[in-house]
Each structure stands twice: as C-alpha cells, then as structure tokens.
Amino acid sequence: MNELIKKLVEAYGPSGFEDGMRDLIRPEIEKYVDEISVDAMGNLIALKKGDGSGLKVMIAAHMDEIGVMVSHITKEGFLRFTNIGGVYPHTLMGGRVQFANGLIGVVHCDRLEDRGKVHPLEKYFIDVGATSREDCPVSVGDAAGFVRPFLAQGSRLTAKSMDDRIGCVVAIEALKKLKKTPHDVYFVFSVQEEVGTRGAQASANGLSPDVGIALDVTGVGDVPEARPMDISLGKGAAIKVKDTGMIAHVGLVRLMKKRAEEAGIPYQLEVLEGGSTDARSIQIANAGSAAGCISIPCRYVHSPSEMVDAGDVEASINLLVEILANPIEL
C-alpha cells in the first residue's frame, strides 16, 4: 500500500487543479466499480452497485490539497502569491513548491524585522530562477503545491498532502476489499475541499444520498503542548462525533462504534475543535442526509510534513468495509 500512498501524496493537485489526481485515481478503481463518471466541477464519482436491499451511500475523500497561487510578479521576476486553503506562513520558509508543469520554486521571505515573529503571507515570495518579469516562466493565476518526498519510517508515514490523499487511499483500498454490499455506494473523489468543501457539496446535491461518510484526516492531542484532544497516532480509526462544521448523525456514530467493536477494529472518538470535512456539505445538501466521518489521525496537518500511522490507516479501511458490507440501521 505504501506504493499507492507515495504515488498519491507526491502528486500535484491544489484545489481547482485536480485533473492529474483524477487521472491517477481512475485506473486504481476502474475494475472494482460498476460505473464511473466525472461531473462538471471535476469530482470523480464511482458507483459500486448493491443488491437492491440497502441504502444510497456517498463516500467522500478529497483529491485536492492546499497550495499557493501567483498573484503578482515583481519586475525582478519574484512571485508574490496568495493561499489556496489553509496555508500557514510559518510552514513556508525554505520550502519548495511545484507548478503544474513541474517547475519548482523556492519560498523565502522579505528581510525579517523581527525574527521572533511570524510574518504575514504577503511578505513571502517564490524564486523560480527568473531574472525579470519578462523571462519568468510562470504567470499570474498559476497554482503550485508543496514539495516533500514520502517517508515511511516504522509505522509512521509522513508526506505533504496526507490531507487528504490518505483518505483517497482508504477509499481505494476499501473498494478493493469490498466484495459485496447491499448498498448503492457512490465513491466520490471530491474537488475543492480545502477552499470550503465545494466539490462534495455539488456532488451531494446531485446524488441526494441517504447516508454520507467523509474520509479525512483529523488533528491529534499527542504532541508537545497540543490543544487537549483525545486522539493519538496509532490508537485506531477516529469516529467523528463533532467538529466545527457538524455534529455527526448519532445513529451513524452508534453504528460505526458497533461495527468496530464487532470486528475488533481499534477506534477512538473524535471531537475536533478546529476544522471540518466534506461530511458537513453532504449532511446539509438538498433535504439533508445522515452524515458522519471516519478520520485518520494526523500530526502537523497543513504543514509539508503531515504524519499518520499505518495501523490507523488499516483500521480506517477495515471499518469502512465493515460498514458497507452490512446493513445500515440508523
């Protein structure tokens, strides 16, 4: 599975620029689904048909990643940029970003008046080796993602964009393992989550599922001076109860816990005090749905080195399979 993770986390795909991601994921799932389509926004939607006795279920994992977009080019050829999604300035210094055509830029900052202070995004710039605006190979409006190689060290897996490529991996691996299901399951590899769960909103409006489950990362409370939170790396899949955008359907949370316990899958209960997922959009699309989320615990979310545990990834895959292979009684 590390091969698939490496392929997806190292790929380019800031919000709104997910074409390459879609091309990578499609061949991974094609032979395990009955129908596959792409909607107007670019969501990749794959249907695995049920036996007619179950519900309409939407699973969402977002293909996009945070990144930057060129807003202005100085006459010396340096790029000023704006954020795509939640980019924190203190994660940028000395980092590298990559554009769609493979061109790499180094990120640096204007002269620091105060080295103890985090400077706002407008003080940062990208150097792609240009010497003037005229010879700059990048245009205003071009988007870049961060660059960082995938690292597997023991059970800890680290990369940029574990958020949410690891959710995509959970969806793909669950599809491979799911032999039969009573439900019509729509696996949506969504776009533009990082700028406000926009892709999932459109696809949930189109599909009107009975049940919606997002697969995404969650924060943890197990690093120095973290905000107290009962989630640790390596202690299992996280079943979301609440985040800033939603309260998960209580019946679905109950069912997730039951399935985990029956199958002996390690799990933790998640109350996330900062952030939300595609599940929020699915919950309130059209007349609403029973929505929840299986979260993969992740350290250093929205930094170029996001870390997950392989055991938690495995637990998340197994939990999703147990839910989909059995009746969903809410």
Q: Which helix (H) or strand (E) holds 315?
A: helix 310-325
User: Which residues, 6 or more positions from 60, have their beta carbon under 8 angstroms from its beta carbon?
Assistant: 188, 190, 200, 203, 204, 212, 213, 214, 215, 277, 278, 279, 282
Choice among 65, 193, 314, 322 that is catalytic: 193
Question: Which two structure tokens, joined as six digits, stand for 301?
Answer: 């979310």
The residue range among 49-57, 156-164, 206-214, 283-291 that interacts with Co ion, by the rule CB under 5 A, is 156-164
Q: Where in 189-208 is the site for Co ion (CB under 5 A)?
A: none
Q: Which does 216 bind (CB under 5 to 8 A by kind): Zn ion, Co ion, none?
A: Zn ion
Peptide bond into 278 cis (omega under 30): no
**163 makes contact with Zn ion (CB under 5 A):** yes
**278 makes contact with Zn ion (CB under 5 A):** no
CB of 270 to Zn ion, least distance (A): 13
The residue range among 52-60, 163-171, 172-180, 289-297 that interacts with Co ion, by the rule CB under 5 A, is 163-171
**312 makes contact with Zn ion (CB under 5 A):** no
The residue range among 91-99, 111-119, 158-166, 197-205 that interacts with Co ion, by the rule CB under 5 A, is 158-166
**Smaller CB separation from Co ion, 203 or 295:** 295
Q: Is 193 known to be catalytic?
A: yes
Q: Where in 193-252 is the site for Zn ion (CB under 5 A)?
A: 216
**18 makes contact with Zn ion (CB under 5 A):** no
| Contact yes or no for 229/307 (Cβ under 8 A) | no
**Residue of 18, 28, 64, 163 interacting with Co ion (CB under 5 A):** 163
**How far is 215 from 278, CA to CA, in rounded Å?**
8
Range list of H helices, 208-309? 250-263, 278-283
CB of 302 to Co ion, least distance (A): 6
CB of 16 to Zn ion, least distance (A): 15
Q: Which helix (H) or strand (E) holds 324?
A: helix 310-325
**How far is 287 from 314, CA to CA, in rounded Å?**
33
Q: Which helix (H) or strand (E) holds 71?
A: strand 67-73
Instruction: Name the residue number minimizing CB distance to Zn ion.
Output: 164
Beta strands in 78-210 (DSSP E): 79-84, 96-99, 104-109, 124-127, 143-146, 151-153, 156-159, 184-190
**Residue of 28, 142, 164, 322 interacting with Zn ion (CB under 5 A):** 164
Binding site for Zn ion (CB under 5 A): 163-164, 216
- Indicate which residues carry an active-site annotation: 193
Report the interface residues with Co ion, using CB under 5 A. Answer: 163
